[in-house]
Structure 1
């Protein structure tokens, strides 16, 4: 296939899927990955798409994707995400909070699942547009530009009007005595509202967050249904959390 036809086909795929990978394009067009990288670089220079790690996204959607190159502990977060999907079943209503671990979780949600998802995180909302069976309800308010999440009283008020089966809480710090804590007052208010709106709380945390404590309390261990980390539940680092009554995955 000639280069111009190949690049037009790449644009068509982006219009449909919003994101493409270098590996998949190379397989589809039966060319080398280096050829695809040159195509993507040329198209990015023309403003036709936006390059990301491992592929490209639509230039229209580029603001809604975290740069995978700057996400720390990607392997651990991917492991947590895969574990967390075991909680999902059809017709559930869930809240997904912000954070790159939760973004990894959203990316791992099966495409055929039917559910209602509430979120205040733009990248997660945009990621879920690729799931035909998921109804996405974005709880909007003032957008914090750096993290691309909605914050403020509008978001809090919207959480007070809903009730869901389960929430998946991105967790900055968690201890076996103090529970989940946060460094931002505004974020702490939102996460408290999320917990109040949920029947069950699933905390997603990489192991480097264990034992840390920040100024604002979110919830104590009895309110946490499950703690999901990349570690085996029998790992000694998790023993005190099990003793506190937190179920581990």
Structure 2
């Protein structure tokens, strides 16, 4: 990984957590403390990070990435994933959709489906599928996050817990052979667990840029996911961990591994 890519990963971790210690960044990115310090110092010099007691944070002027910006990242990969998922959903089925950008592409790919029963915590995704082809769309309540219009918290959890649906389509911030799927916020992990426990099939949608990465919070194990859909096939040891976990893998490279 070249330095510019590493610095982007550092910024991403700090952005989602608000604050990170040097040790936490080194562990998450699996590099040395000295490497982290060198890259952090460069980012501080450029004004992209500021040092605070015990670690680093974002300057007040740098906002969290918007949903539209996330939609623009790895667009082709996300579209490939969305096409694979949409091909498996039948008219009239019910599904949870979380508030990730990849899931938003799944919603777009479902635009020609009819009579879907949709439950989501994303105002953006609800807007894509509402008033279309006889769909019924339910939006979880609670305060919407500023950067992605996603609802979390007790109100959203209580709401989605009322449903028992065919599919839960969700995404993650990272996937690691030893840790499974991971996210940046505890509320996201709790919400994902609720969707998984209230669906017949759980589908994880994740592009190759998240392979062999780590994030602060454990989301779920491979064994909790029915199918993992991606644009490319991961290499070992991640591939072997997916297979051992009993999770089917479907990729745009047309390779499927089933237990």
**TM-score (norm. length: structure 1):** 0.68
Which runs of structure 1 show a deviation greater than 4 angstroms over 4 or more consecutive aligned residues? Answer: none
CA apart distance, 1:206:
0.5
Please name the residue that 1:159 is paired with.
160
SS in 2 for 1:67: helix
| Higher share of residues assigned strand | 1
Write the distance in 1 (CA, Å) between the matches of 2:210 and 2:152: 23
1:81-160 equivalent positions in 2, closer than 5 A = 81-129=82-130, 131-160=132-161
Write the distance in 1 (CA, Å) between the matches of 2:71 and 2:111: 25
CA-based RMSD of the aligned residues comes to 2.0
Please name the residue that 1:172 is paired with.
173
Conserved? CA contact 1:116–1:134, under 8 Å: yes
Q: How many residues align?
A: 183
CA apart distance, 1:80:
0.5
Write the distance in 1 (CA, Å) between the matches of 2:93 and 2:113: 13
CA apart distance, 1:122:
0.7
Gaps in structure 2 of 5+ consecutive residues: 1-65, 251-259
Conserved? CA contact 2:172–2:219, under 8 Å: no
The structure that has the greater radius of gyration is 1
Write the distance in 2 (CA, Å) between the matches of 1:148 and 1:210: 26
1:1-249 equivalent positions in 2, closer than 5 A = 66-67=67-68, 71-129=72-130, 131-231=132-232, 233=233, 236=235, 239-240=239-240, 241-249=242-250
Gaps in structure 1 of 5+ consecutive residues: 1-64
SS in 2 for 1:201: strand
SS in 2 for 1:158: helix
CA apart distance, 1:66:
4.8
**TM-score (norm. length: structure 2):** 0.66
Conserved? CA contact 2:124–2:149, under 8 Å: yes
